[in-house]
A = this chain, B = another copy of it.
Amino acid sequence: MTKVVTVKRKALAANDEQADALRRRFADGGTLVVNLISSPGSGKTTLLERTVARLKDRHRLAVIEGDVATERDADRIRALGVPAHQVLTGGACHLDARQIATALEAARLEPADLLFVENVGNLICPTTYDLGEDFKVALLSVTEGDDKPFKYPAIFSRAEVTVITKSDLLPHVPFDLAAVQEQLAALAPSGCRIVTSATTGEGLDEWVALLEERLRAKRSAA
């Protein structure tokens, strides 16, 4: 198993190098890049649908979708008139930087103000693969249970933003929101947490304002 670890470490180092190149490219283009990570079914694509609907008239948007199989998610974004490229990973449980570079060559996604990368539905594997993003966003739906941050500490400590989704279902599920907020505060003390519902619209203004603020900050720092 040591050989597996060594080979994996080398693959991660190669990925980091490619991610650094992407980060320079995105800095040159003034593109804010957000890497969305969660379990399958936490609502990443739905959050993106709501986000692009609110932002597409004010900014140039683009989306890269990562999935093991099917073109469904990219189709959902394209239906809103925003360019989206689907990366199919086959069996792989995460996107890597090389796939992002290839997607940028294959599809006309640039120039863009905001590039959203929806990673493969997985709370573990995508955590260690830098995609050249400005920051990671972890999503956690209230239906997944309130023990998840401590059960998957790596992603919830590395994500600068955690979006709690499906808050409209809180009356129907056992989910102690205060307990989750405490776990997140312990794992990511400087992180930002937003409670949202794509159904009621709760938290979406706050989420979109955060994105625009981060975009402004990146542009003024350039």
Contact = CB atoms under 8 A, between A and B. Distances in A.
Contacts of A3: 7
A128 interface: yes
B93 A122 contact: yes
Contact of A147 (B70, B125, B143): B70
Given A41-B39, A151-B67, A124 B91 contact: yes
**Taking the full assembly, how many copies of this chain does it contain?**
2
A29 interface: no
A91 to B, nearest CB: 7
A28 B57 CA distance: 67
A172 interface: yes
A11 interface: yes
A10 to B, nearest CB: 8
Interface in A17-60: 39-41
A147 B169 CA distance: 20
A169 B143 CA distance: 10
B72 A147 contact: yes
A92 B124 CA distance: 8
A144 B148 CA distance: 15
A27 to B, nearest CB: 27
Given A11-B1, A91-B128, A152 B68 contact: yes
A4 interface: yes
A150 to B, nearest CB: 5
25 contacts: A3-B7, A4-B11, A7-B7, A39-B39, A41-B143, A41-B144, A67-B151, A68-B124, A68-B154, A69-B150, A70-B147, A93-B93, A93-B124, A120-B124, A121-B151, A121-B152, A122-B122, A122-B124, A122-B125, A124-B125, A143-B143, A143-B169, A169-B169, A169-B172, A169-B173
